[in-house]
Structure 1
Amino acid sequence: MDALPQRKIALSTGITLNIAEAGDAQNPPIIFLHGFPESHRTWRHQFNEFSNKYHVIAPDQRGFAGSDKPQNAAQYKVQHLVGDIIALADALGLDKFILCGHDWGGAVAWAATLTCPDRVEKLVIANAPHPFTYQKSLFDDLEQRAAAQYITAFRNPQFEKYVAQKGWEAYFQENFADHVEGGVPDGEREIYLSQWRQQGCFTAMMNWYRASKIIVPPMPDSGEPMPERPAYLDAPFMKVAMPTLLIWAMDDHALKPSLLHGLDELIDDLTLVKLSGGHFVPWENHDAVTRAMQDWLK
C-alpha cells in the first residue's frame, strides 16, 4: 500500500478538497477523478506511473474520504461536481488539462467535457458510460436496467439504516468485495472502511445518486408505472469534440456492453480499448490501463 502525497485546497465553490498531487508543475497536467465508493486511490497505479512526465492531481471528490461532506443532496447536482473540478484547476493555475474519470468520476468528466470544452484538452474514461447512452439503455435494454436497480435502492432515504443494521464489514464484503475479481487488495479494505465510517461520509456518497437526474425505470414485473421517456433521447445530442480514450473492462457486472453502442455518433475522435477485468479496472487490471493510456498519449 503506497501513501500518496496529499494536501487540502479550498475552492471558490466553498468546498475544501483533499488532493493527491505529484510531478513537476511545469509538466502537462492530468486530473484523475474517482467514483463510488472510493477515493483518490482509485488511480494510484496510474498516478505513480505518470508522475515522472506529468503534473498529476487526484482529488477526493466532494462527499468522499478526506474532502468536505455536505449533507444536503442538492449539493451533489452535477453542476456543483463539475464546478469543483474547474475551481480546482483554477486554484492550481491550470488553463487546460487532461481529464481522466472512472465510474462517477467518469460521469463528472463527461459532463465537464460537454459543458467546459475549452478546459479539457483530452479525455480518458474507464468504465463510465456516456450520459446519453446510459439513459437510453436504461429504457431500451432490460439487462442494463436490471443491473442498475441498485441505484433505486441507494436513493431510498432508509438505506443508511439498512447498512448500519447489516454492519460495515458484512456490507463491504457482500456488496463490494464479492464483486471485485480477485478480491480487494491487501491493505485497502481498512482504508475503505475507515473512510466510510467518517461522520456523514456514507450519506454524502449516497447523495451523488439522490441528486442525479438519471431515471432508472422499474422492471416490467415490478407492477410500478413506467416513467416518461426523456425527449432528448430521440433528438440529436451534443458531441464530444476533443480526443477521447475509452477504456472498457468487459466483465463489468453493473455496466453492460450495450453502453458502447452508438458512441461514434457522439464522439468525434474516439479510441476504444476493450480489456478483461471487472468494473474497478484502474486497479483490477492496472498494467493494461496504464499501457493503454501511455500508448494513446504518445
Structure 2
Amino acid sequence: MLSHHIHLNGQPFHYLGWGDRAAPVILMLHGFPEYSGAWSEIAEDLGRDYHCVAPDQRGYGQSWTPEEVSAYRTGKLVGDMVALIEHLGGGPVIVFGHDWGAAVAYGLAIARPDLVSRLIIANGVHPGPFQRALAAGGAQTAASQYIHYLRAEGSEARLEEDDFSKLFKMFGASMDMSWMTPERRAAYLEEWRRPGRMRGMVNWYRASPMQLGGPGETIADLPEMPAEALRVRMPHLLIWGARDGALLPEATEGLEDYCDDLTRITIETADHWILHQESHRVAAEVRAWLQRR
C-alpha cells in the first residue's frame, strides 16, 4: 500500500493505492463515517490482480474539507472523482462504492459512463429506488430517521463529544462491530480528529436533495426521477449484506428498471459493514464477476 497526496481541481486530496499501477484500476469509494483505510482488507486481496485506488473523499481524512454545505452537492463530489480518474490516466475504470460512496459511484456511472467500465456497489443505493423508499413512510423511512439528526445544526459538535462516543454508538447501531479492533478504532479517531472533518462529513447529508419525512409520513410531491435519465448502462454488480439495519432491501426494489445489466448477490451473514465482516467473500465475488465480464 502506498499513500499519495495530490491536487485535484486545485485542491489537496489523499488516496491509498494497492497493486500494480499497470493493472486495471478499481476506484474504491468509502461512505460515512469511514475513510480510505476502510478498504484495506478488500484492496489487499484484489490488489493481486488490480490497481486498487481508495481516496479520502471531500470532507474526509486527509483530503480537502470546505466548510460550506453547498460544496458537498453530488455534482461536486462526482467532479472530484472525474479529476482523480483523469489523474490516474483516464478511464474507463471499475468503480466500487459503499454507503455514501455508492451515491458518488452511481453519479459517475450516470453522468460519465465513458469513465466507468463496470459498477460495483456494496450496501449502497441508487437515488431512484432509495428516494421512493424514503418517501413511502414505511420501514426504510423509520430506519433513516438518523438523517434528521445528522442534518440538524450543531450535529458535528454533538458527535465529537466524549471523544466521539455518539458517533461510535451510531456506527454500531444494531450492527456487528466485532471487526472494530482497538487498532482500527485508534485509526478512525485519528481521522475524525482532524480539524473540520466532522462538519465536512455531516455536510454530505445536509447537501443531499433526498427528501425524508417523519416516522410513518409519506411524501407525495416528489420530483420526477425518470429511469432513462438515471440509467446505469454498464454491467453492474450489487452485493448486499442481508442484516443491514440502516439500508433495507426495499431501498433497492425496482433497481432493475434503472439498469441495463444488473447482477445481485446477497450475503446472509453480513450487515452494513460488509466490507469488514466478509472482506474475503466480497473480494472473491468481485473477482469472479469481473472475470466473467
Contact 1:136 1:233 in 2 (8 A): no
For these two proteins, the number of residue pairs brought into alignment is 289
Shift in Å at residue 227 of structure 1? Answer: 5.2
Shift in Å at residue 178 of structure 1? Answer: 4.8
Offset from partner CA, 1:9-65 (integer Å, 9 cap, x none): 1012x3221100132222111110000000112211121112222121110101101
Aligned partner of 1:66 in structure 2 is 62
Q: CA–CA distance in 1 between the matches of 2:216 and 2:164?
A: 33
Return 5+ residue gaps in structure 2 as ranges.
none
Aligned partner of 1:170 in structure 2 is 165
Aligned partner of 2:242 in structure 1 is 250
Contact 2:72 2:207 in 1 (8 A): yes
Aligned partner of 1:180 in structure 2 is 175
Shift in Å at residue 285 of structure 1? Answer: 1.3
State the superposition RMSD in angstroms.
Answer: 1.8
Shift in Å at residue 234 of structure 1? Answer: 7.5
Shift in Å at residue 109 of structure 1? Answer: 0.1
Offset from partner CA, 1:118-144 (integer Å, 9 cap, x none): 110000000001110000001125110
Aligned partner of 1:129 in structure 2 is 125
Provide TM-score, normalisation by structure 1. Answer: 0.92
SS for the counterpart of 2:118 is: strand
Q: CA–CA distance in 1 between the matches of 2:82 and 2:226?
A: 30
Q: CA–CA distance in 1 between the matches of 2:227 and 2:24?
A: 37
Q: CA–CA distance in 1 between the matches of 2:115 and 2:23?
A: 16
Provide TM-score, normalisation by structure 2. Answer: 0.93
Structure 2 residue 263 is the aligned partner of structure 1 residue 268: no
SS for the counterpart of 2:4 is: strand
Please point out which of 85, 88, 92 is paired with 1:92. Answer: 88
The structure-2 alpha-carbon separation of the partners of 1:62 and 1:296, relative to structure 1 and needing over 3 Å to count, comes to same
SS for the counterpart of 1:31 is: strand
Structure 2 residue 5 is the aligned partner of structure 1 residue 8: yes
The structure-2 alpha-carbon separation of the partners of 1:30 and 1:235, relative to structure 1 and needing over 3 Å to count, comes to closer
Return 5+ residue gaps in structure 1 as ranges.
none
Please point out which of 271, 282, 286 is paired with 1:278. Answer: 271
Q: CA–CA distance in 2 between the matches of 1:188 and 1:180?
A: 16
Shift in Å at residue 91 of structure 1? Answer: 1.2
Offset from partner CA, 1:145-186 (integer Å, 9 cap, x none): 01111111111112123234x412422442223543143134
Q: CA–CA distance in 2 between the matches of 1:236 and 1:28?
A: 29
Offset from partner CA, 1:49-107 (integer Å, 9 cap, x none): 12222121110101101111111111100011000001001112122100000001011
The structure-2 alpha-carbon separation of the partners of 1:69 and 1:238, relative to structure 1 and needing over 3 Å to count, comes to closer
Shift in Å at residue 204 of structure 1? Answer: 0.5
Q: CA–CA distance in 2 between the matches of 1:217 and 1:77?
A: 20
Contact 2:135 2:220 in 1 (8 A): no
Q: CA–CA distance in 2 between the matches of 1:57 and 1:163?
A: 29
